[in-house]
Structure 1
């Protein structure tokens, strides 16, 4: 299969300097193809721009000496028609640029969405998680602005210079030297702007992360009296952001002013040179005026480019970041064969797990297997690796080594969407979404049937609870389920986990916020799932839930120290406690190893 991974080589002077076939390069090539048509309109616009210079040339050299009003009227009518066409093509070009930018945005939406849902799983810093969408917004804004028109008009600068040489070689040389000076200022702008623009972008991203954190945790900040402390952090972050932006603004303002002064000097100098030529009878007055106007038109694209240079630098850096992000978040190749729903067993072989962007192993060489209909409780003290193991079992965290297999196939042999239909997962943070209860239970599947939604709710024991709500399954729960209690969120999360009859269900502390009725409903749900030949894995220490399971795995410091039936494991724990009690009383240890790590009393 052809390697489609993007190359990271990015030429600073061209958006299209890449041989890669990544989504960003493809979108840029499509935009460049569409820009070809816009370049044609730019050519027409630049030709029409000559009308002002030609009009002044004819007025000074023909109308004024002859005092012919008919000629003046005819020339004025022609130039008015030219200006009307110029305005029409300018508006058309701007509208086309907006549509090209919109199509560019649409073409990258799938890759951007994949990056947004993948980056948090790769240990990306919070400041960088929202960067792809910001970069795309910057690119779209730049592509629909006047910035690209400068580059479409620049190829016509030699045409204007050639016209000036035709007026007179001295006028042409003056224009050429002035153009070289302004281009030199542009090169200096390019070199000096890289660092300050990057620093301004990074400070903006860090400030936005702090804003999101404050908004998300506003209740805790207010309740714990941290308002003034976070105000200090906010002021410091905002001050840093303003400082970096001020540096960038100062740089661009200084360089832009230098370029503008050069243009004024050049235009005035052009008039002076033209006047000298008129006095020496080397040129006419019309040439003097026309050359000044034409010189201003020749330098207009450079001035536009300099005025939008900050946006240009930000857009170019955004392209580089998007290419990098698309590389690290590229979707795995689509499997050649769609595997059937697993129905027989789960096998974990020498599984080693580390947190994203970390080399420290949290789970090391864990192996076990479960047949359909079995239920496993994961036991262990805090930080023993239970949650990390559960994330690896459902494919959230990739394994550093070892494999997780369903019916003999490693879980990465399924597409993530297909695997998700075979897996149910309830994390510690339930993470419901803004929408109705029905939408959250069916995982926002637009093809979900009412029967499947009600079935999942009944298995989870939440059907009657939902019916008691004001609008039943149509109740809007708000962002994160804010309109529900913690226990209600957990029970609806359980219904979502069991929706669609998944084969493997992993529940991480599913009864942390449940009352007695909720725990009883959870135990019944586990028994129903096992009767339906699903494999259920639960992280919990409460006897009421463990009683519905038949197998136990004990973790200690990321390693499996016991695996077997619950009856066998609890018997070994009881014997270990009985034998160890006298020794512990006689000679306590500074850091005693747990007796199979926090197995609940009475289990």
Structure 2
């Protein structure tokens, strides 16, 4: 099983190859029926006017009307089919894009700020559902129109081919000149999205500290930059679109003028003159339509390239199928880690082993690397050296979903999701275990608190749990970490927002986890968090300093800290 199945944009679109073939066949009939107008004009000028036959005119008009109707229906069918294909491709890519969106920050770190797989999928959907693909399907039929004009007269055909070649050169030029502006536009759009999401996520901090005006000015600057890039892309597209439209009209008039000359020379009929002009306009129309949709096409192509790179970066090596859940040991061997996408080590030289039922308290000054260790232990940050092994197997030998069955994690900043209390506790499982939810709530000692909410476990907590206090969010996060009785429980500053009752409940939960054979690791600044552990690890300056029995280490560390404090007070007195 792979967490990210190998997928590519080309593969997703290629799944509907048969549908695109059908659209191409429909396009062939649409282009054939587009000859209805020129042929009708040809017959009117050369047959009806020559014979003064009203019945002939009525018969030709009836046939033309029927063909126009059929052509219109086929064109509607083609556009409807493209819309449905676009939604199918969107549906096929949206799941992998959503998962990649979650994983990219853990792979590229801060460099993932401008990467938005979901926005790229939307760009592909917009193009596939637009008339742009239909115009592209019409392009291969241009030579057929030129051939018909050649049949009318070689001079007319040469004029049509020369005009088509010149316009094609403009299209190629437009392609090369539009790449960089379109890429810049996509980047500025990503910056805007990142700023919007971050300000929404931190609205309380922004409001409390009066940062709204500053961030609003920053956003205005981003909008101005995006506006300038959007204007550059639009001006570029409009320039080529207008030039090609002007050339098409000029060529149509030139075809009419050359046809008139040939009529005067009695080399073609007046009907041929009119028909050639109309066919010329129809032959060049797909180019004009394609150019008008060119920015969307370029954005879609660039989005497809980014998506393929993102999917490739997020693809995981195959895990070991059938690997049992760990239940005995945690072994950390020479671990070194850094933030995703970075090479500067935040932590190195960590080496310890814990057995089932052990509890480890990780202590040290702020910024020493304690949270970095917690992230590495649960697989959020990469192991740049050494390894984290559970029962001898490294974390990457399980899929992310399987890891979730034996890992519980409570970060410093508890992030809850919009939904019910029960959904947040069970980690939004598709088939939640009600008994396991109640058990986790009881273990975190929040069952009575939840029962007192307006709708109990079905209470909606709002975006990021805004309807709960900081302490309630932390205890709800603890219940989420305890859901399913995980073997490895990692708690990062779990008592930072807890009162005395909450700290007692935390200690009871940690003791219960150890009693059932789990391993508990707690990052702590306050000594009360160490009441439920039997071992202690000290980290300073991004490196392991000591590891051993809790009581023995505290006997060594506390006197040393007191001695240091007394020494400092003497210096201050002097």
TM > 0.5: yes
Q: Distance in 1 between matches of 2:404 and 2:124?
A: 34
Of 125, 128, 138, 2:123 maps to 138
Q: Distance in 1 between matches of 2:112 and 2:228?
A: 18
Show the counterpart of 1:377. 361
Of 207, 218, 243, 1:233 maps to 218
Of 532, 544, 565, 1:548 maps to 532
Show the counterpart of 1:62. 47
Deviations 1:420-461 (A, max 9, x none): 110100001111111111111111113222211111111111
User: Taking structure 1 as reference, are residues 127 and 532 closer, same or farther at Cα in structure 2, changes over 3 Å only?
Assistant: closer
Contact 1:150 1:302 in 2 (8 A): yes
Deviations 1:467-493 (A, max 9, x none): 111111111101110100000000011
What displacement does 1:253 show? 1.2
Contact 2:260 2:270 in 1 (8 A): yes
Partner SS state of residue 184, structure 1: helix
Of 239, 248, 251, 1:266 maps to 251
Contact 1:120 1:129 in 2 (8 A): no
Deviations 1:113-135 (A, max 9, x none): 22111011123447745521111
More displaced stretch, 541-550 vs 352-361: 541-550
Show the counterpart of 2:74. 89
Show the counterpart of 1:197. 182
Show the counterpart of 2:105. 120
Of 333, 346, 354, 2:330 maps to 346
Q: Distance in 2 between matches of 1:200 and 1:354?
A: 32
User: Taking structure 1 as reference, are residues 582 and 486 closer, same or farther at Cα in structure 2, changes over 3 Å only?
Assistant: closer
Show the counterpart of 2:37. 52
CA root-mean-square deviation: 1.9
Matches within 5 A, 1:159-308: 159-308=144-293
Contact 2:461 2:467 in 1 (8 A): yes
User: Taking structure 1 as reference, are residues 459 and 129 closer, same or farther at Cα in structure 2, changes over 3 Å only?
Assistant: farther
Partner SS state of residue 404, structure 2: helix
User: Taking structure 1 as reference, are residues 206 and 582 closer, same or farther at Cα in structure 2, changes over 3 Å only?
Assistant: closer
Contact 1:127 1:205 in 2 (8 A): no
Matches within 5 A, 1:445-464: 445-464=429-448
Q: Distance in 2 between matches of 1:367 and 1:485?
A: 37
Contact 2:105 2:112 in 1 (8 A): no
More displaced stretch, 52-61 vs 24-33: 24-33
More displaced stretch, 342-351 vs 442-451: 442-451
Show the counterpart of 1:482. 466
Equivalent residue pairs, number? 571
Q: Which runs of 5+ in 2 are unaligned?
A: none
Contact 1:127 1:208 in 2 (8 A): no
Q: Distance in 2 between matches of 1:250 and 1:109?
A: 32
Contact 1:127 1:206 in 2 (8 A): no
* Stretches of 4+ aligned residues off by more than 3 angstroms: 123-130, 577-588
Contact 1:127 1:209 in 2 (8 A): no
Q: Distance in 2 between matches of 1:430 and 1:266?
A: 67
In the alignment, structure 1 residue 413 sits paired with structure 2 residue 385: no
Q: Distance in 2 between matches of 1:60 and 1:37?
A: 36
Matches within 5 A, 1:491-510: 491-510=475-494
TM-score, normalised via structure 1 length: 0.92
What displacement does 1:223 show? 2.2
User: Taking structure 1 as reference, are residues 334 and 109 closer, same or farther at Cα in structure 2, changes over 3 Å only?
Assistant: farther
Deviations 1:12-45 (A, max 9, x none): xxxxxxxxx7422211322444211110000011
Contact 1:338 1:414 in 2 (8 A): no
Contact 2:114 2:194 in 1 (8 A): no
User: Taking structure 1 as reference, are residues 579 and 545 closer, same or farther at Cα in structure 2, changes over 3 Å only?
Assistant: closer
More displaced stretch, 103-112 vs 413-422: 103-112
